Amino acid sequence: MKPARLRFPLSALLFVLAALPGNRSAYAQVPAVPGARSADAEDRADSALATGDSVSAPAQAQVRAPLPDRAPSGNAGLAGPMMIPAAKPPGLAEGRVHSYLDDARLYVTSVAAAIEYPLRANLSIRAKAVGDWIAILAADAESAPADPHAGHNAGHGDHLEEDDNPIIADAVSGASARVSTSPVNSRETRGEGSVGLVLRERLGNTPATLSADARGSHEPDYSSWFGTLSGQAETFQGNTVISAFVGAGRDRIAPAQAPAGQIGRWPANQSKLSAGFSVAQTMTPRLLVSGGASAGLQIGRLSSPYRNSLVGITYFPEKLPSERLRVTTFAQASWYLGSGAALHLRQGFYADGWGVTAWIPEAALAKELGRALVTAKHRFYAQSGADFYRAVYTDRNGFQTGDLRLGTLYGQTGALELEYRVGRGAGGKAPIILTGEYGISRLEYPDLYPKVLLSHVFTMGVRTEY
């Protein structure tokens, strides 16, 4: 039997390393909680799951507001969605390792490295590489019934009661934990790389940044290319930061074996367009507010060759529309509380042309403790299902899907992050910033049983200037 397709965008979800130029401030990062996610096509962007800004990630770096009572080394300074880089930036290097596991036997290790090198005082080149190693441990052969979701080679034979209760796919990563009927493990690797240029100029009295990035990723049966052009400007003596981006890309899906009856439909392509803007405004020395919106359009073959929909007691390849418009908005406030502490509140909203909507409130509290910065984060996620989503369909008319992430779901994520500065970072060698984070997520699918998926994410990272 053919193992289930492993579709895993954890690197897109957890690494926003494309925004690395924002890291060169001495202020510690307190990002929106947790993870921006790029519009990375097909399963990587199938829904708004785990993010309210799934199509706006390229525009979201961070901005810092001045602390009212301390030098710029204060770690708990206000943080918004974007940051204007320094006029003469040093080089920057960063590396991160993420480890993901859940109770559906999905294990993922992701490694990312990024570097930025100044070619001139106003021009830098940057590059990023990401590798994902995905493993799904097979269930005990005696306790794991055949699951037609595992692949289209599985025939439409007798329906088992357990087929109505498939192991839930991981909505955060996008990977599927529905393994094959074979008692062996399923494994896959994925690589992604990007390169870009960053130009910093002053337009009159307004510092401005223009950047261009190209990104590509490859898997045995999936390739993706995407380009982004973004710009940001700091006005009104640095109190207002305006940012915008546009992007376009193309994906190709080439399954090793097409679903039954669909040999002529694969390989298939998908085109992507995205654009967005955001504004951050310093209201007082202690308060920063920001907001923005973005949209993404996917055109082409949006169905997956590895997913089936359940019609009555039989599974058939899913049928999805050939277009999907996705819109996200957010509003955020960051408030410096004094004594090295800052509070960050964010409200996100997502809607798309398939009827999926999501409401995403988030909060983070950061506290500076000497050389360390401790941040506690929480996020709630509530999503309505697509107009055509059903756990079980009565006939084959209209659009149909077996993607659980297009159904109703609720999620809660909590995380605790620690940053520690090694080195003084003033008048000499730049500090080395060490980071560690643990997060736990609980996703609930009201339409299915089992209804709950628990997952854990461990993160370690290091960054520095040179």
Looking at the domain assignment, is residue 3 inside a domain?
A: no
**Does some domain include residue 1?**
no
Q: 11: helix, coil or strand?
A: helix
Tokens at 463, concatenated:
């960054």
At residue 454, the pLDDT reads: 92
Handedness of CA 418, 422, 424, 427 (dihedral sign): negative
CATH number for the domain spanning 421: value is 2.40.160.40
pLDDT, residue 6, reads: 34
Whether residue 207 lies inside any domain: the answer is: yes
Q: Which structural domain range is residue 15 located in?
A: 10-465
What is the structure's pLDDT at 256?
80
- What is the pLDDT at residue 416? 98
Q: Is residue 4 part of a domain?
A: no
Q: Which helix (H) or strand (E) holds 339?
A: none
Domain annotation covers residue 95:
yes
**Separation CA 270–CA 449 (nearest Å):** 32
By the 8 A CB rule, do 281 and 264 touch? no
pLDDT values of the chain reduced to their tens digit, one per residue, 466 residues: 333 333 333 332 332 223 222 332 222 222 222 222 222 323 322 322 222 232 222 222 222 222 222 222 233 333 333 333 334 567 899 999 999 998 888 889 999 999 999 998 899 999 999 998 888 876 554 444 333 333 333 333 332 233 333 333 333 333 333 333 344 456 778 899 999 999 999 988 899 999 999 999 988 888 999 999 999 999 988 899 999 999 999 999 888 877 777 788 889 999 999 999 999 999 999 999 999 999 999 999 998 888 888 999 898 988 999 999 999 999 999 999 999 999 999 999 999 999 999 999 999 999 999 999 999 999 999 999 999 999 899 999 999 998 888 999 999 999 999 999 997 654 566 789 999 999 999 999 888 766 888 999 999 999 998 8
Look at residue 237 in the predicted model and tell me its pLDDT.
86
Q: Which helix (H) or strand (E) holds 384?
A: none
- What pLDDT score does 429 carry? 67
DSSP state of 89: -
* Close Cβ partners of 324 (under 8 Å, ≥ 6 residues apart): 297, 298, 302, 352, 353, 354
The distance from CA 180 to its chain's CA centroid, rounded to whole angstroms, is 27
Give the global pTM: 0.73
Cβ atoms within 10 A of the Cβ of 87, count?
A: 11
pLDDT score at 423:
79
What's the alpha-carbon Rg for the chain, to the nearest Å? 22
Question: Does a structural domain hold residue 78?
Answer: yes
Residue 205: predicted pLDDT: 85
Task: Provide the number of structural domains found in the chain.
Answer: 1
Give the Cα separation of 174 and 4 in Å (integer).
Answer: 13
Assign 3-state DSSP to the chain and report helix, strand, coil percentages, each to 5.
5, 50, 40
372-383 vs 357-369, strand pairing mode:
antiparallel
Q: Does residue 120 belong to any structural domain of this protein? A: yes
Look at residue 103 in the predicted model and tell me its pLDDT: 85
Residue 172 maps to a domain: yes
pLDDT score, position 450: 67
What b/e readout covers 330-345, taking b as 16+ CB neighbours within 10 angstroms? bebbbbbeeebebbbb
**Closest Cα to residue 293, out of 54, 3, 9, 1?**
54
